[in-house]
Amino acid sequence: NDDLLKQQQDAKQWVMPLGNYSSQRYSALDQINAKNVKNLQVAWTFSTGVLRGHEGGPLVLGNMMYVHAPFPNTVFALDLSKGGQIVWKYEPKQDPNVIPVMCCDTVNRGVAYGDGMIFLHQADTNLVALDAKTGKEVWKVADGDPAKGETGTSAPMVIKNLVLIGNSGGEFGVRGHVTAYDTKTGKMVWRGSSMGPDADTLMDPEKTTELGKPVGKDSGTATWEGDQWKIGGGTTWGWMSYDPELNLVYYGSGNPSTWNPVQRPGDNKWSMTIWARDADTGMTKWVYQMTPHDEWDYDGVNEMILADVKVGGKDHKALVHFDRNGFGYTLDRVTGELLVAEKYDPAVNWATKIDLKTGKPERVKEFSTEAGGEDTNTQNICPAALGSKDQQPAAYSPKTGLFYVPTNHVCMDYEPYKIAYTAGQPYVGATLSMYPPKGDENLGNFIAWDAGTGKIKWSLPEQFSVWSGALATAGDVVFYGTLEGYLKAVDAKSGKELYRFKTPSGIIGNVNTYEHDGKQYVAVLSGVGGWAGIGMAAGLTGDQEGLGAVGAYKALSSYTALGGTMTVFKL
């Protein structure tokens, strides 16, 4: 999209959920810097009126700010030149029966802008185009069917004349796909599935490669038994990135269904995979499956950060990805070559290393959830199912060359059991409990990472997992939010804490920044929830409830309470 290509370079605006097509979450604004950030104060606040987990963050285009909320996915357009006055509000009518088929809270990761429209991906899978000026519906299309467990939480991305969305429902046997719709009409232009015959996955047996080798015919069914691929998961509920020169869109696919690995022998391609697709046609250029035959729910959907990275003295157009499985990957994004894969949390124990030639993890049998068969409880697996990092996006500063990563530091016990598939019913087949690694009390760390060498530069322990998206700025400040509700600012070079402020609720939103009337602002949504905060958000109390997350985060309710508010800061 020509407008977006220009607008993403204007640091005064924040025009797409992850800041720019490269998903760097970096701002060239430097009015707020490492010296003066200690003087930050609240400029204004805004309540969304919604209680559950608030992910993503506001967009800023010119004088307008667009704020979204979890189910029922209210969208507000605020006029920054009139003190944040509400210009329009869109409140979709959605069947509340979608709530019980959302795996990990009723979250939404944000709206997208393009061609004068705001695109909203609703919980019930409807993609709605709204006139950005008036909030009037231009078109609306259903991407899936919540009665089958298909839901929507991910942010759309606008590329040229297309708006792309992924889907959710890996815990319900939904098959994942990314779909491109015409921005003007809502007509489907292409859909690429995570598994199935080549016509579904949009793969060419000869031209589509994994680590330089052709994938072969129908690779999306060849590593599945029978028809299991039809309910095989690999949903695409994370973030997307785009390289306009290569015209490739990058994203990851999630866990294979069911969570019981005994029931689905084989590599389960292409779940847990990094994808590079042609943006116009959806054809797959290359793939890389990080966790073949997953046994732990390590969804591969986390953001793909596009940056120039030097590896072994050689410059690469790289893609950097912090996977749920605990490895930080650096790939050449032109060819899909694997350059670096190292643990970004020393606690990771399910694999010793990744073989850079074959791309395969070297697994540790003790932590296989399949080795003992069904109904065997495997203990002390690190990371837990929610990974060393989940949806919370990292940031990259071209100034320091470092990646700033909000992480989880959590381990688990995992017991698979046999489960039958019924459309629209949970298809999980495992019981879990989660806790910090032995000897540790912190459930998270905020780290700085060198993607050229695969090394942690510094690491700040956090009592709870850092479930909020980071922001790096040219002022050499890095911002992130905590589950207790603190907005924190740290020094980009040393990690030294420079500022903290307790917002009204736990933060799982992403920190964004913009300039208005010559002044730099920092904005973040608070509103505790998401998978880590599911106990509070959904009122669950049993340790193994919320897919095993409730027990680990029980103490959170002593620090914060529910409620969606945006807090905007200035000097």
Residue among 144 and 530 whose Cβ is closer to ligand PQQ = 530
Residue among 84 and 444 whose Cβ is closer to ligand PQQ = 444
* Beta-strand runs (E) in 427-518: 430-435, 444-450, 455-462, 471-473, 477-481, 486-491, 497-502, 512-516
H helix count then E strand count, the chain: 4, 40
Q: Tell me: does residue 169 bind ligand PQQ (CB under 6 A).
A: yes
Q: Tell me: does residue 390 bind ligand PQQ (CB under 6 A).
A: yes
Catalytic residue among 105, 297, 413, 450: 297
Partnered with residue 77 across adjacent β-strands are 66, 88
**Out of 7, 94, 241, 255, the residue judged to bind ligand PQQ by CB under 6 A:** 255
Q: Are 273 and 282 within 8 A, CB to CB?
A: no
**Out of 229, 531, 553, 569, the residue judged to bind ligand PQQ by CB under 6 A:** 531
Q: Are 203 and 221 within 8 A, CB to CB?
A: no
CB under 6 A: which stretch of 65-73, 101-109, 155-163, 475-483 binds ligand PQQ? 101-109
- Binding to ligand PQQ, residues 115-154 (CB under 6 A): 153
Residue among 146 and 454 whose Cβ is closer to ligand PQQ = 146
Q: Tell me: does residue 235 bind ligand PQQ (CB under 6 A).
A: yes
Q: Tell me: does residue 171 bind ligand PQQ (CB under 6 A).
A: yes
Q: Tell me: does residue 237 bind ligand PQQ (CB under 6 A).
A: yes
Residue among 42 and 147 whose Cβ is closer to ligand PQQ = 147
Map residues 288-307 to x or -, x wherever contact with ligand PQQ holds by CB under 6 A: -----------x--------
| Angstrom distance (rounded) from CA 474 to CA 34 | 10
How does DSSP assign 95-162, residue by residue? Answer: -GGGGGG-BTBS-----EEETTEEEEE-TTSEEEEEETTT--EEEEEE-S-GGGT-B--SPPEEETTE
Closest C-alpha to 524, from 171, 21, 51, 55: 55
Indicate if 278 belongs to the active site: no
Q: Tell me: does residue 179 bind ligand PQQ (CB under 6 A).
A: no
Q: Are 523 and 76 within 8 A, CB to CB?
A: no
Helices (H), 174-323: 198-201, 219-222
Q: Tell me: does residue 530 bind ligand PQQ (CB under 6 A).
A: yes
What is the distance in angstroms between the CA of the first residue and the CA of the last residue of the chain? 34
**Out of 15, 37, 104, 448, the residue judged to bind ligand PQQ by CB under 6 A:** 104
Residue among 252 and 254 whose Cβ is closer to ligand PQQ = 254
Q: Tell me: does residue 55 bind ligand PQQ (CB under 6 A).
A: yes
Minimum distance from CB of 534 to ligand PQQ (Å)?
Answer: 8
Partnered with residue 306 across adjacent β-strands are 319
Phi, psi dihedral angles at 76 (to 5 degrees): -115, 140
Residue among 149 and 436 whose Cβ is closer to ligand PQQ = 149
* Residue whose pair of structure tokens reads 């667009």 in the numeric block: 66
Tell me, rounded to whole angstroms, the distance of Cα 309 from its chain centroid.
Answer: 22
Q: Tell me: does residue 506 bind ligand PQQ (CB under 6 A).
A: no
Q: Tell me: does residue 323 bind ligand PQQ (CB under 6 A).
A: no
- Report the catalytic residues: 297
Footprint of ligand PQQ on this chain (CB under 6 A)? 55, 103-105, 107, 153, 168-171, 235, 237, 254-255, 299, 386, 390-391, 530-531
